[in-house]
Amino acid sequence: MQRLFSNFADGWPGVGLLLQRILTAILLIRFGIIDLTSAACFLSKGPQVIGACAGMLFLVGLWTPIVGALIAVTELWMAIALARDPWICILLATFGGTVATIGPGAWSIDARLFGRKHIEA
């Protein structure tokens, strides 16, 4: 993971990434729950389950590049496949893709697991 990002942003950029991750996760989980309770066919629930599970991982910042790419692909798939208004799916795909490319930030599990370690002598 450390090879993907030169550093894990802290300070105000880190706060911005944290807020973006929280907003994206809340929307993914909310729409996942709403769609799960209203969908009639089991096959149509697949993208919502993927989105809600990815939202939970995104919230804590675990496996952020993989989960962000998964969110982007899933949300673009739903934007194309579903007959409703696609703009929220496009917005969530954009948020997932940007965090996947920028990185999770300093306040994430990825930063704790894969960030630089300070060795005290």
What is the DSSP track for 38-70? H--SSGGGHHHHHHHHHHHHHHHTSSHHHHHHH
Please tell me the total count of domains within the chain.
Answer: 1
> What is the distance between the alpha carbons of residues 61 and 63, in angstroms, rounded to a whole number?
7
User: What confidence score (pLDDT) does residue 98 get?
Assistant: 93
Q: What is the pTM of this model?
A: 0.82
Sign of the dihedral defined by the CA atoms of residues 24, 26, 29, 30, in that order: negative
> What is the distance between the alpha carbons of residues 94 and 76, in angstroms, rounded to a whole number?
9
pLDDT in tens, 37-65: 775 665 667 888 888 999 999 999 899 99
Domain assignment of residue 120, yes or no: no
Domain assignment of residue 121, yes or no: no
Angle between helices 11-38 and 87-102 (to 10 degrees): 140
Domain assignment of residue 116, yes or no: no
| Segments forming the whole domain that contains residue 27 | 11-111
